[in-house]
Amino acid sequence: MVRVQVPATTANLGPGFDCLGMALQLYNSVEMSVASSGLHIEVQGEGNTDLPRDEDNMVFQAARKVFKLSGHQPPGLRIRLVNNIPVARGLGSSTAAVVGGMIAANIITGNKLDQREIINLAHGMEGHPDNVAAAVLGGIVVAVPADGEVRCLKIPPPKNLRAAVSIPDFPLSTRLSREALPQQVPISDAIFNLGRVALLVSALFNGDINQFGVAMEDRIHQPYRTNLVPGMKKVFAAARLAGAKGITLSGSGPSIIAYSDSNLDLIARVMRDTFRQNGVSARSMVLSISPVGARALEIK
């Protein structure tokens, strides 16, 4: 039996669409063992009412890829998921499933794949590398697909940086949220984002979170997603007033994440209340950055 813990992740950090990601201290656990026959899946916590228990389950699908690659097909499989990451809320639940399934299967088959190969394989399933790289490596990560593989580098997180996350009660699939994006953006918006993403990476390295207000601005995905998240602009404004240094949609949404080194509880409450005032029931959490990525907690 192997038990793997995988962190939640927030992608983009505003302007870094599909290339910046951060791991958060909120974890799913994937327990996997070989059975004599059949597929047995148990789900506890988030998604326990609607996640598939058959071959459509993402953890199983990810594990199956690793079994195929390693040439080791177990006669049956037992999977137990304990989920703390809300499903389809922009906090990397599908990435956690994919990465958790792959790492568990990799351990069962004798660790034939290294971290880089897991990231490449998971990127193939997810289609964008930002959540995947952060979930595997932990911390804050730049991830860029190039020449058939994902190049990733970690960025040291600023001291005392934490996040207030407000999570609406409705799901939003990444597919739908990407369908809202245009095929082309004006060159002026591309220039706007290039400058901000460079400023953000530099601000992170310098620990200068006072740059976040400008450095986390974005013009290439968030404006097109505003209509999918009722109250989004008001939640941004309220978080800013409550002292947030930077505010972004978390991944493809609908959660909104605000960063600061103080007043996080207040910011979280104000964001949740503003969602509610706009007819969206929501909950909020305060989370620290997870310095560690996915890892085995138990092998026996």
Give me the residues that bind ligand HSE (CB under 6 A), please: 11-12, 17-18, 90, 128, 130-131, 174, 177-178, 221, 251-252
Work out the burial of residue 258: count CB atoms within 10 Å of its CB; fewer than 13 is exposed, 13-18 middle, 19 or more buried.
buried
- The first and second tokens of residue 65, run together, are 């890829």
Minimum separation from the CB atom of position 234 to ligand HSE (A): 21
CB nearer to ligand HSE: pick between 192 and 224? 224
What is the closest distance, in whole angstroms, from the C-beta atom of residue 62 to ligand HSE in the complex? 16
Measured over the CA atoms of residue 37, residue 38, residue 42 and residue 47, the dihedral's sign is positive
Least distance (Å) from ligand HSE to the CB of residue 18? 4
* Residue number with CB closer to ligand HSE (220 or 270): 220
Report which residue type is found at 176: L
Backbone angles phi, psi at 59, to 5 degrees: -65, -45
Dmax over CA atoms of the chain, in Å, equals 59
Minimum distance, C-beta of residue 177 to ligand HSE, in the bound complex (Å): 6
Residue 225, both tokens: 């997603």
Closer residue to ligand HSE (CB): 116 or 178:
178
Please state at what angle helix 115-126 crosses helix 93-108, rounded to 10 degrees: 140
Which one, 252 or 290, has the nearer CB to ligand HSE? 252
Q: Which is nearer to ligand HSE, 35 or 176 (CB)?
A: 176
Provide, rounded to whole angstroms, the least separation between the CB of residue 209 and ligand HSE: 22
